[in-house]
Structures are given as C-alpha cells and as structure tokens.
C-alpha cells in the first residue's frame, strides 16, 4: 500500500483574506448544523474542497487555519 503525503499547499492568503473565507465557511456550516464539536475539522475540510486542495493537517496553511479559527472566527 502506497500512501502519498500531500505537498505543502501553495496558496497565499493574508490573515484578513483567510479570516473572510473562514467566516463564510463558518456561516455555511452553521446553516447546515448547529453542532459545535468538530467544527474546526469540518471547516478545514470545507476549505480544502472550496480551493480543490489536498492539505495535511501539519501544513503551514492548515496550522494558520486552525490558529485563526481558535482565536477569532469560531469563538
């Protein structure tokens, strides 16, 4: 079995742009379900689908997403 590790994602976002995208994704997730647990992972997954990327959870952009979500977007 061959498992390929995704390469780092080459998308450039300012913190403001990333915040805007994550706020939009959060609104979509809230409209679908009020469930709070796991929202960070569902948001990260939705981000990957929106931009058609495969991103490891340790990718620098993923880490920025998780940090921004925990500190500002989904509080």
Residues of the domain holding 53: 15-73
**What predicted TM-score, i.e. pTM, was given to this entire model?**
0.82
pLDDT band at 1 (very low <50, low <70, confident <90, very high): low
Query: What DSSP designation does 69 have?
Result: I
In a domain, 4, yes or no: no
In a domain, 42, yes or no: yes
**Radius of gyration of the chain measured on its C-alpha atoms:** 13
Report CA dihedral (36, 41, 44, 50) to the nearest 10 degrees. -80
In a domain, 1, yes or no: no
Q: Which tens digit of pLDDT belongs to each residue from 9-59?
A: 888 999 899 999 999 998 898 898 887 778 888 889 999 999 999 999 999
Split into its structural domains, the chain has a count of: 1
pLDDT band at 75 (very low <50, low <70, confident <90, very high): low
In a domain, 7, yes or no: no
Contact 56, 5 (CB under 8 A): yes
Q: Which tens digit of pLDDT belongs to each residue from 3-17?
A: 777 778 888 999 899
In a domain, 51, yes or no: yes
């Amino acid at each position: 079995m061959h498992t390929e590790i995704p390469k780092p994602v080459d998308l450039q976002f300012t913190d403001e742009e990333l915040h805007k995208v994550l706020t939009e994704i959060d609104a979509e997730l809230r409209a679908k379900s009020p469930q709070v647990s796991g929202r960070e992972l569902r948001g990260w997954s939705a981000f990957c689908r929106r931009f058609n990327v495969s991103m490891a959870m340790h990718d620098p952009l993923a880490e920025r997403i998780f940090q921004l979500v925990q500190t500002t977007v989904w509080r």
